Structure 1
Amino acid sequence: MELDFERCYRAVDSRDQRFDGWFYTGVTSTGIYCRPSCPAMTPKRENVRFFPSAAAAQGAGLRACRRCRPDAAPGSPEWDVRADVVGRAMRLIADGVVDRDGVPGLAARLGYTERHLHRMLRAELGASPLALARAQRAQTARVLIETTGLGMTEIAFAAGFGSVRQFNDTVREVYALSPSELRTAGARGPVVGGAGTITVRLAYRPPLHVGSLLEFLALRAVPGVEEVRDGTYHRGLSLPHGPGEVALTPAAGHVSATLRLADLRDLAPAVARCRRLLDLDADPVAVDATLAADPALAALVAAEPGVRLPRTPDPFEAAVRAVFTQQISPRSARPLITHLLSHCPPPPPSPGRDEDRGLRGFAGVREVLGVPDEGFRGPAGRRTAVRAVARAVADGELSLDGDWAAARRQLLALPGIGPWTAGYVAMRGLGDPDVFLPTDLAVRRGARALGLPDDPKTLDAYAERWRPWRSYAVVRLWRAAA
């Protein structure tokens, strides 16, 4: 990935927080790399280098700034919205695939050889898959060191390191401090709320319209899986090593995430899924600028800047929700989904679980395939479509790893799946930022309320001006309809 020096240097000179995560600034004279917005940075041009990833900066021998903590910056919106191999690889690495399955497992998920994958990531991100995973392990270790009372050996293995020695060496190299020194330097008192409970701060790019985010999630909340109360979104999670729960509370500049995990190795995947769920790696300024250029949407954007596109922690969940929401409202679909989940095997309890409010993760492919006919309410075609999607995922005929175009083609080949359903899955399950749903009744009502054409064909043509952020326009139109 080529980084334009002049553009990057102007961003650093202006301390513009919108560029945090887009690139990283290395200062060769100090051996430190920072966020573009770091207030401590006044580097001379000749001493500055720019890197597309924290892993690339670390690979150049630089350590993370202790003031701006660049390793904890929001992820690059570019990787977040790209459906190519590099974007998909970054999302899978964030989800811990390399730690669990190694680089061969990552390459297999993406359908490329290890050598070709290594070459692509080197070209785009300046780092190998192992280096990117290592950077993530270092950040996970830092969170555990600074926010828990866990012993260093426990932290080493929870963060995904293969040995305590590897953990010690990596922390020293990345932060120029030993793990014990890092704990002392970052001591703010542990924020652990019990066994397996950790609170972390999830940074985002402002603005964030909290009201629209919580309203969106509350309208679609499935009882027993999720709920919104007192300004906090509570959610059950199904994670690679066991169940978990999270409470997400938006605040100024960050979202507070209190995680209860059965296995601390799931911290990084849980954080990645929470960021995806709340769309925290989006660039709302870029999105809003495009939508506000249309006079029909300008007032909405001005009144509610930073509206996000909430997703699902797992794409298969979005597929199930989409089938149940075909031709009915999200509110009407909720009891149908709840009934389905009631016929799935009960999940194991999560740590610290309040039995009166305990939340479970959404059912996976195997659980849905095991649901008997009486677990499906409504037309038989809905049951056929849900089972067809689950079976296609189980058999490897449907991949929901992030290739939006391929996933939509594969979905449309299944019985009971039409363009609306495939588009909804791409938008909320895979994170495609440029999906438009012209036949959606709420989208058409919203368009009518704004004086736009509500005929699907005419509206679809009109929406071309909102590219590449039509998914966000859909959310705006849904709100206008409400």
Structure 2
Amino acid sequence: MHTDREACLRAVAAKDPRFDGWFFVAVKTTGIYCRPSCPANPLAKNLTFHPSAAAAQQAGYRACKRCRPDASPGSPEWNHRTDAVARAMRLIADGVVDREGVPGLAARLGYSVRHVQRQLQAELGAGPLAIARAQRAQTARLMIETTDLPMTDVAAAAGFASIRAFNTTVAEVFALSPTELRRKAKGRPLTSAPGVLSLRLPFRGPLFPDNLFGHLAATGVPGVEEWRDGAYRRTLRLPHGPGIVELTPPQNGELPITGHIPARLRLTDLRDLQVAINRCRWLLDLDADPTAIDHTLAADPVLAPLITAAPGRRVPRTTDGEEFAVRAVLGQQVSTAAARTHAARIVAALGEPVEDPEGGLTHLFPSTKALADLDPETLAMPGSRRRTLAALVSALADGRLDLSPGADRVTA
């Protein structure tokens, strides 16, 4: 969209938050970049448009302190597209570049490093390292502003190779040193318990929370998920250890145009912060474009009144593709209650135990390796369904079926 200057100018003039994350606005005279909805009023002749925050940063622009463009919802394109660029963006969001480098990213995509860099540069105005750097900067900002961790710990947890690289990146992106960022955030509640962070997940409105959180509460697997004190809680399998997330739906009784989902994360290792955030965003479908979706669905005369009554419906997803597939097979039971019962038995027998000081969560959902040891005959299901489950687990275990964020959905 950033190449259509007139459309971008219209979005900026309207201060339309629906376009936040679709493109970024840079102001040549101030050297900052913003969301399209930023309340500032720069002259149109001074504006340039960029497809990503990383591209704006590479062009020498700093994040606006007023609208915080680095905290915009993500582009909905990466969730539904199946091409290599979209797969790369999903993998970068899942921390692959930080853990495996650009060669690891390229290997997962099945392309050369040069090809991946060329494709991302052409569409997003930045290569994989720059995009991962922008993500690290946002992770660092979250920890600087919401914890009292020493800066050396923040730098390591955010994925920076050195404190010098951390200081330089934060200063270049936010035009403030890490210490200045924390000082400006003074007065915000800090996380008191080690490894726990309180943050807000932005979404592109409107959002209808009832069906989203209602589904999660109704289908939750005991031990892995629970509804407690008005919030959905679940365990997370993360690269550096287990985690627990608590997600609270909007409480104002209205359908917000834009807003945030309050989240609390208890992590074994803070290096998993950005991965956990992105998996929670995927779970709640927070990067969707609900206006476009509602417009399409409302063209159906049967669906139109439902959309009018409850705009902004989301499709509940998952934090783990393999878990989702197994639960889909179990979900073919005669009732949701029966499916939850079977899943709970599998979790109790094969899941990895976790500690939950604040609730009743007890396990991670079993890994594919653990599920490979499951005897389907022990499950009170029809024989055909037991065979389906065994075939699914076998395909996941030996790699014939890939359900990771960067999977090729055409061949999966």
Check whether TM > 0.5: yes
1:12 shift after superposition: 0.4
User: What's 1:262 paired with?
Assistant: 268
Question: Would the aligned equivalents of 1:205 and 1:282 in 2 still touch at CA under 8 Å?
Answer: yes
User: What's 2:209 paired with?
Assistant: 210
Aligned-partner residue type, residue 44 of structure 1: L
User: What's 1:11 paired with?
Assistant: 11
Q: Percent identity?
A: 57
User: What's 2:236 paired with?
Assistant: 237
More helix by share: 1
Question: Would the aligned equivalents of 2:352 and 2:364 in 1 still touch at CA under 8 Å?
Answer: no
Separation of aligned partners in 1, 2:133 and 2:119 = 18
1:378 shift after superposition: 1.3
- Cα-Cα RMSD: 1.6
Question: Would the aligned equivalents of 2:221 and 2:343 in 1 still touch at CA under 8 Å?
Answer: yes
Separation of aligned partners in 1, 2:378 and 2:207 = 38
1:149 shift after superposition: 0.4
Q: Which of these residues, 391, 408, 411, is aligned with residue 406 of structure 1? A: 411
Aligned-partner residue type, residue 379 of structure 2: F
1:150-172 per-residue CA deviation (whole Å, 9 max, x = no partner) reads 00000001001111111111101
User: What's 2:85 paired with?
Assistant: 86
User: What's 2:35 paired with?
Assistant: 35
Residues 380 and 155 (structure 1), Cα distance of their counterparts in 2 relative to 1, 3 Å cut: same
Separation of aligned partners in 1, 2:201 and 2:275 = 13
Separation of aligned partners in 2, 1:212 and 1:325 = 18
Residues 201 and 356 (structure 1), Cα distance of their counterparts in 2 relative to 1, 3 Å cut: closer
Structure of greater relative contact order (alpha carbons < 8 Å, 6+ residues apart)? 2
User: What's 1:323 paired with?
Assistant: 329
Equivalent residue runs for 1:324-473 within 5 Å? 324-326=330-332, 328-347=334-353, 349-350=354-355, 353-354=356-357, 357-373=360-376, 375-400=378-403, 401-407=406-412
Please give the secondary structure, in 1, of the residue aligned with 2:248: strand
1:363 shift after superposition: 1.7
Question: Would the aligned equivalents of 1:103 and 1:130 in 2 still touch at CA under 8 Å?
Answer: yes
Can you give the 5+ residue segments of structure 2 that lack an aligned partner in the other structure? 251-255
Question: Would the aligned equivalents of 1:249 and 1:255 in 2 still touch at CA under 8 Å?
Answer: yes
Q: Indicate whether 1:223 and 2:229 are aligned.
A: no
User: What's 1:279 paired with?
Assistant: 285
Separation of aligned partners in 2, 1:276 and 1:345 = 23
1:356 shift after superposition: 5.8
User: What's 2:253 paired with?
Assistant: none
Residues 30 and 221 (structure 1), Cα distance of their counterparts in 2 relative to 1, 3 Å cut: same
Question: Would the aligned equivalents of 1:214 and 1:228 in 2 still touch at CA under 8 Å?
Answer: no
Question: Would the aligned equivalents of 2:197 and 2:266 in 1 still touch at CA under 8 Å?
Answer: yes
Q: Which of these residues, 302, 318, 330, is aligned with residue 296 of structure 1? A: 302
Aligned-partner residue type, residue 160 of structure 1: G
1:112-153 per-residue CA deviation (whole Å, 9 max, x = no partner) reads 111111111111111100000000000000000000000000
Separation of aligned partners in 2, 1:243 and 1:31 = 41
User: Is 250-259 or 144-153 further displaced after alignment?
Assistant: 250-259
Separation of aligned partners in 1, 2:46 and 2:362 = 51
Separation of aligned partners in 2, 1:102 and 1:376 = 42
Residues 102 and 6 (structure 1), Cα distance of their counterparts in 2 relative to 1, 3 Å cut: same
Residues 137 and 82 (structure 1), Cα distance of their counterparts in 2 relative to 1, 3 Å cut: same
Residues 188 and 355 (structure 1), Cα distance of their counterparts in 2 relative to 1, 3 Å cut: closer
Q: Name the count of aligned residue pairs.
A: 403
User: What's 1:480 paired with?
Assistant: none
User: What's 2:312 paired with?
Assistant: 306
Aligned-partner residue type, residue 20 of structure 1: D
Residues 64 and 122 (structure 1), Cα distance of their counterparts in 2 relative to 1, 3 Å cut: same
Please give the secondary structure, in 1, of the residue aligned with 2:303: helix
Please give the secondary structure, in 1, of the residue aligned with 2:264: strand
Question: Would the aligned equivalents of 1:343 and 1:372 in 2 still touch at CA under 8 Å?
Answer: no
Scaled by the length of structure 2, what TM-score is found? 0.94
Aligned-partner residue type, residue 146 of structure 1: E
User: What's 1:412 paired with?
Assistant: none
Can you give the 5+ residue segments of structure 1 that lack an aligned partner in the other structure? 408-482
1:355 shift after superposition: 7.6
Question: Would the aligned equivalents of 1:95 and 1:269 in 2 still touch at CA under 8 Å?
Answer: yes
User: Is 187-196 or 120-129 further displaced after alignment?
Assistant: 187-196
Scaled by the length of structure 1, what TM-score is found? 0.81
1:23 shift after superposition: 0.3
Question: Would the aligned equivalents of 1:24 and 1:53 in 2 still touch at CA under 8 Å?
Answer: yes
User: Is 389-398 or 92-101 further displaced after alignment?
Assistant: 389-398
Please give the secondary structure, in 2, of the residue aligned with 1:49: strand
Residues 299 and 30 (structure 1), Cα distance of their counterparts in 2 relative to 1, 3 Å cut: same
Q: Indicate whether 1:52 and 2:55 are aligned.
A: no
1:374 shift after superposition: 5.7
Residues 345 and 287 (structure 1), Cα distance of their counterparts in 2 relative to 1, 3 Å cut: closer
Question: Would the aligned equivalents of 1:237 and 1:360 in 2 still touch at CA under 8 Å?
Answer: no
Separation of aligned partners in 1, 2:332 and 2:294 = 29
User: What's 2:247 paired with?
Assistant: 248
1:78 shift after superposition: 1.5
